[in-house]
Structure 1
Amino acid sequence: MPLSGHCLCKAVTYTVDVDAPLIVGYDHCDDCQRQSGSTYSLVAVVPKDKLTVNGPIKKWSGTGSSGHAVHRLFCSDCGSPIAHDPDAAPEIIALKAGTFDTEIKKNLKPVCSAIPCNSPPY
């Protein structure tokens, strides 16, 4: 069963053609703290080529700790953050786990407290 989710106003929806994220964890980088307004952002890393996004997405790009660009995707209507897309790891994208559909969120189990854990650096 694919993963799915949406922004606060439901103008942006997405599906990921996988049964589970590659990894779920807490991202404590300064940029994720600022984007989430919290001390961390719970993210679910998925293969980028399995993600389909529909709706009015805007993008803001900055430089990640790797020195490469990180593209932050958000709803252009309500401003909800949807994902961050690191150029340093072009095969993956980190979805903001709070945007998953409710039943999917209930079953997420974070495995680390410092993304990228064992994944490529952002």
Structure 2
Amino acid sequence: MREILTGGCQCGAVRYRFEGPAPAAYACHCGECKKQTASAFSMSIPMHYDDLHVEVLPSSFETIAHSGKTKHNYFCGKCGTRLWHSGSNPPDKITLKVGTLDDPSGIAPQGHLWVSRKQPGIELDPASDQQLTQPDDLEAWRANLGIRECR
């Protein structure tokens, strides 16, 4: 069953929508994700940017990912909410931040990255896949867990 999923930033200046079943997500516990969410971890959904219908284009800045590759970080220029990341600008494939969905209640992480940097006191589902760092082939890891880019 396809549904329309919507989301956006805290202040409402940037809004988006996409169609599909509730997508599979993963959580990352690395230091960068903790910092960008101001929380214990970040949850992401891999998808194609073309499937995301964005009403107002966000701002962006570049960082260097753990892999050494450039990462483009997209955020609301008014309130600063981080919305998604991409390896390219303009974006092609992105990782949408689950916390920006209007209703993320049906989305649980299928796997966890950087568990070696997990915040103390955070309990993970023992049945979930848990990687101490990041797999060399992130796309293969996602696919193995059934975390496929939305289409």
In which range does the TM-score fall when normalised by the shorter chain?
A: 0.7 to 0.9
Matched, 1:79 2:48: no
Q: Shift of residue 55 of structure 1? A: 2.0
The runs of at least 4 consecutive aligned structure 1 residues that moved more than 3 Å come to none
CA contact (8 A) 2:46 2:93 kept: yes
Q: Shift of residue 79 of structure 1? A: 0.8
Q: Shift of residue 17 of structure 1? A: 3.3
Which entry has the higher C-alpha Rg, 1 or 2? Answer: 2
CA contact (8 A) 1:56 1:76 kept: no
Look up the match of 1:20.
22
Matched, 1:67 2:58: no
Structure 1: unaligned runs, 5 residues or longer: none
Q: Distance in 2 between the 1:44 and 1:110 partners? A: 9
Task: State the Cα RMSD in Å.
Answer: 2.2
Q: Shift of residue 53 of structure 1? A: 1.7
TM-score, length basis structure 2: 0.67
CA contact (8 A) 2:22 2:106 kept: no
CA contact (8 A) 1:56 1:77 kept: no
**Higher strand fraction (1 or 2):** 1
Which aligned pairs between 1:1-122 and structure 2 lie closer than 5 A?
1-21=3-23, 23-87=24-88, 91-102=92-103, 105-114=104-113, 116=138, 118-119=141-142
**Number of aligned positions between the proteins:** 115
Q: Distance in 1 between the 2:26 and 2:21 partners? A: 17
Structure 2: unaligned runs, 5 residues or longer: 114-133, 144-151
TM-score, length basis structure 1: 0.81
Q: Shift of residue 106 of structure 1? A: 0.9
The secondary structure found in structure 2 opposite 1:111 is strand
CA contact (8 A) 2:5 2:101 kept: yes
Q: Shift of residue 46 of structure 1? A: 1.6
